[in-house]
Structure 1
Amino acid sequence: MIKADYHLHSSFSSDSETPMESQIEKAIELGLEDICFTEHMDLDYPKEYGEFNFSIEEYFKKIKEMQEKYRGKISIYKGVEFGLIPEIGDQYETLAGQYEFDFIIGSTHLYNNLDPYYSTYWEGKTPQQGTMMYFEKILENIQNYNNYDTLGHIDYIIRYQDIKENPDRNKMLLFDNYSYSEYGDVLDEILKHIIYKGKALEVNAAGYRYGLGAPNPQYSTLVRYKELGGELITIGSDAHKSEHLGCSYDKVEALLKEVGFRYYATFHGRNRIMNSF
């Protein structure tokens, strides 16, 4: 059984209004044993979309307060989700060295200063072109930055691939325009790279919440990762609201067991701990 959530946001992330206490109380209610807050840190995110940054000092202070308040009930860890961009890798490197995070997610949210979440990213592109460009950017990002523990939501872009055709985000593609083989060359390079570097692959349960019928990444990507020798996975709900915490964990666990995974990783002080289902 999955007893940890290692992708979790609170009001320290600019796209969440949920108090940290609410997330913790929900995690305890669900019977989770370990949670790691992974607040957004996108240092060069376009200002017109919002500022994805926060005070690390205030964040650490709040985490310490919560650790003391909930001691003996749940273990709470301090993480961060870096929005990777090659040009500012040195700034992330400084932060990773200066602050004692327990866990770092390396995610790709932007391509040429555009986020696939917004329709402007898709202008002048077919879904296939936009998706390929995004995967190529992930590969570029991880080839240029290495100080992270897990690669976040590798096919994040699929959540928004049909935004022009379906403005209602509850009606997402059920991966009908997405297959591993179509993007296999670049996805293989991404997976081989993180395996070689000893990084984990995140299994992000939010795909179910977005109506995709699968986590990010979906089944064929997880199968290929296993075929290539990948064993390290982390699991998170990507919850920005407490009602989404631990979402669809039963489905995630069943899928991972079907693929052949028997363990998932958690982190404390950037040190990996393997946990059985």
Structure 2
Amino acid sequence: MITDGHNHTKHFSVDAGQTIDELINEAKSKGFNRLGITEHYEIDYVDDGLNWMFDLDEYNKTFEEWRAKAGDFELLKGIEFGYQTHVAEEIDKVAASIPLDVVLMSVHLFRGKDFYVDRECYQLPAKELHSEYINIMAEMCEKCNNFDVVAHYDYINRYAENKNDFITYEETPKEFDRLFEVMIAKEKALEINTKSIQKHRAGGFTRCLPDAAIINRYKEMGGKLITFGSDSHFPGTFAVCFDEAVEYMKSLGFTESVYYKDHKPHFEAM
């Protein structure tokens, strides 16, 4: 069974609505024996009235209690950091300050605004928007070191108003080459975020699966590390679209994915 390495609980992620028990029970009901919990940690986030950081010692203590209660069901402890240029150094410090299995790096803001709420960025031409976003992700990989996975490279696409706008390699080849070059050099994994597939389909996009040319280019440049994550926040969303995503990646020539324990990749057959 492929590991779902990207999930959130309401205990530490302010935008989540599921308990740890709900998450584990759903995973068990779907035949899983392992999952990764990657709670949001956003340093100097936009002022939206929410606290996007949590007490690291409390998280560490609580997680060990979860593990003890979970028994044979394996819980992987992680954090998902939101990147901004001016917090890169602090992210590395925080990531190194707590024992973790996995660290995800994400870009949730565009020009300092949360595009989940503020859709102004979607007035830009799609190519300009996508180019700048992928370059931010490349910068993230260049400036940060203490992480394992680049999460949802296509996050910017989820909330586009034009349902024909889809991030592709053909549109932004130099930007993706820059991103993949540093990822591969630093041995960072590329996440296939299955929530993006579900969101694109529910939103009426003309395309839902990741652009094949993006995945093929990653592979062509030497990329081998692939993770799968449902980005689950609420009950009923764990491992969403997993079977479809795995079969798609197999059709593009990948035979293994990875999950992380103590920042070390563990391979599993697709």
**What one-letter code is carried by the residue in structure 2 that aligns with 1:233?**
I
Specify the alignment match of 2:126 in structure 1: 127
Tell me whether 1:214 sits opposite 2:208 in the alignment: yes
Aligned partners of 2:169 and 2:235: how far apart in 1?
32
Distance 1:123 1:195, change over 3 A: closer
- 2-side partners of 1:123 and 1:231: how far apart? 32
- Alpha-carbon distance between aligned partners in 2 of 1:214 and 1:230, rounded to the nearest angstrom: 22
Q: Could you say what secondary structure the match of 1:242 adopts?
A: coil
* CA deviation map 1:138-191 (0-9, x unaligned): 1222211121101111111111122xx6xxxxxxx2x55433211111011101
Question: Is the CA contact 1:79–1:104 (under 8 Å) kept in the aligned structure 2?
Answer: yes
Can you give the 5+ residue segments of structure 2 that lack an aligned partner in the other structure?
Answer: none
Paired-residue identity, %: 28
1:35: Cα distance to partner? 0.6
> What is the distance in 2 between the residues matched to 1:238 and 1:127?
24
SS in 1 for 2:103: strand
Structure 1 residues 231-263: Cα deviation after superposition (integer angstroms, max 9, x where no partner): 101111000012010111110110010011111
In the TM superposition, structure 1's runs of 4+ consecutive aligned residues that sit over 3 Å from their partners are 175-178, 212-215
Say yes or no: does 1:94 pair with 2:93: yes
Q: Aligned pair count?
A: 264
Match of residue 157 from structure 2: 158
Residue 45 (structure 1) aligns with? 45
**Distance apart, 1:57 and its partner CA:** 2.0
In 1, Cα distance between the equivalents of 2:250 and 2:124? 37
Across the aligned residues of Structure 1 and Structure 2, the Cα RMSD in angstroms comes to 1.7
SS in 2 for 1:195: helix
2:231 pairs with one of 235, 238, 244: 238
After TM superposition, the score normalised by the length of structure 2 is 0.92
1:180 corresponds in structure 2 to: 169
**Residue 263 of structure 2 is aligned to residue 274 of structure 1:** no
Is the alpha carbon distance of 1:123 and 1:103 closer, same or farther for their aligned partners in structure 2, counting shifts above 3 Å? closer
Residues 240 and 226 (structure 1), Cα distance of their counterparts in 2 relative to 1, 3 Å cut = same
Q: Distance in 2 between matches of 1:63 and 1:228?
A: 37
Aligned to 2:67: 67
Q: Which residue of 2 aligns with 1:32?
A: 32
Contact preservation (8 Å) 1:63, 1:77 = no
Unaligned runs of at least 5 residues, structure 1 = 166-172
**Cα drift, residue 121 of structure 1:** 3.7
8 A Cα contact 1:102 1:268, kept in partner = yes
Q: Could you tell me whether the CA contact under 8 Å between 1:219 and 1:255 is conserved in 2?
A: no
